[in-house]
Amino acid sequence: MNVRSAIQLASAAFALAILAFAGPPAIAADTIDPAADAKAFQKYFTDKFPKLKLEDFVNGPYSLNEDMHRQWEEKEEFPPYDFSLDAGKEMFAKPFKNGKSYADCFPNGGIGVRQNYPYFDEKEGKVVTLELALNRCREANGEAPFSYVKDEMASLTAYMAYTSRGKPFDIKIPSDPRALEAFEDGKRYFYTRRGQLNFSCASCHVQNPGERIRAEILAPALGILNAMPIYRSEWGGMGTISRRFVTCNIQTRGVPLEPQSDEYRDLEYYLSYVSNGLPISGPGARP
């Protein structure tokens, strides 16, 4: 049975799984409970893969069986993302034309802070991701923004992730109703089917982790952003979170959104929060 058939046959069971994560979509902010969602989300995966430790999920498909784990260990001896990591370190240290640098834009000089992004900016009323914060830093210092899906942004975020390796995701959701709505909107996007294939993000990454779609081995949704940015063999290079979201929409034959759109930022907020407590493992590598 192919993956698509399995998804269709499991749709009823999947609907029940969604309810287990916190019930049907709620609109009123006082009914949104991110902590309960995160607890149920993590329990779903630890029940589905009882042999795995919680922190193992950040290794994506490489955590799911011994053969793939050995592949990951071999790949980590000479990781394909090293070139990007070196480039990101050099870029991060290089001053802007005005003499300032990325370190001037971030707490702790930008070192060891990846686990705190994205965050909800109560003044702006929106989610701010690390990629967005980096481009805002550049623009505030008279530099042109980088593409959200190209090598420069991937290299910068790779270096910042590397300085946070081992630190657990610590995403905050303030009591501001707009923050709760952003979390809920991200959750809704994650479970909504779209595209000609009528897939949601959850169709692949909740129902079928470890299965294959074409050459891709599907990763569990839990911990999926902890390893970002990632080197993918199919890309032949590094990719940002923005690139991954865009690619997923294209793979379901849907219309991708603009990188760093509100929907993608809210989706990142949701996926990061429900992986709170899992360590940063980025940059990573995937098939």
Q: How does DSSP assign 95-140, residue by residue?
A: PPTTS--GGGGSGGGGTT-GGG-SEEETTTTEEE-HHHHHHHHHHH
Q: What is the pLDDT of residue 28?
A: 64
Q: What is the pLDDT of residues 51-99, one digit of tens each?
A: 999 999 999 888 887 777 777 777 778 899 999 999 999 999 999 999 9
pLDDT: which is higher, 66 or 111: 111
Could you tell me if 227 and 58 are in contact, meaning their C-beta atoms sit under 8 angstroms apart?
yes
**Which residue positions form the known binding site for substrate?**
244
Which DSSP state fits 284?
Answer: E
**Which residue positions form the known binding site for heme c?**
105, 137, 201, 204-205, 248
Q: How does DSSP assign 69-97, residue by residue?
A: HHHHHHHHHS-TTHHHHHHHHHHHHSPPT
Q: How confident is the model at residue 287 (pLDDT cuts 50, 70, 90)?
A: confident
Highest mean pLDDT among 22-31, 70-79, 135-144, 217-226: 135-144
Mean pLDDT, the chain, rounded, equals 89
Could you tell me if 279 and 55 are in contact, meaning their C-beta atoms sit under 8 angstroms apart?
yes
Which overall architecture, per CATH, does domain 1-287 show? Orthogonal Bundle (1.10)
Q: What is the pLDDT of residues 3-54, one digit of tens each?
A: 444 434 344 344 334 434 444 444 566 789 999 999 999 999 999 999 999 9
Task: Report the catalytic residues.
Answer: 248
Task: Report how far residue 81's alpha carbon sits from residue 123's, in angstroms, rounded to the nearest whole number.
Answer: 36
pTM: 0.89
Q: What is the pLDDT of residue 20?
A: 40
- Please report, for the chain, the start and end positions of each structural domain, with discontinuous segments joined by +: 1-287
Range of weakest confidence among 13-22, 212-221, 222-231:
13-22
Q: Is the pLDDT of residue 286 over 80?
A: yes
Q: What is the pLDDT of residues 257-267, one digit of tens each?
A: 999 999 999 99
**Could you give the percent of the chain with pLDDT greater than 70?**
90
Q: What is the pLDDT of residues 170-186, one digit of tens each?
A: 999 999 999 999 999 99
**Which residue positions form the known binding site?**
105, 137, 201, 204-205, 244, 248
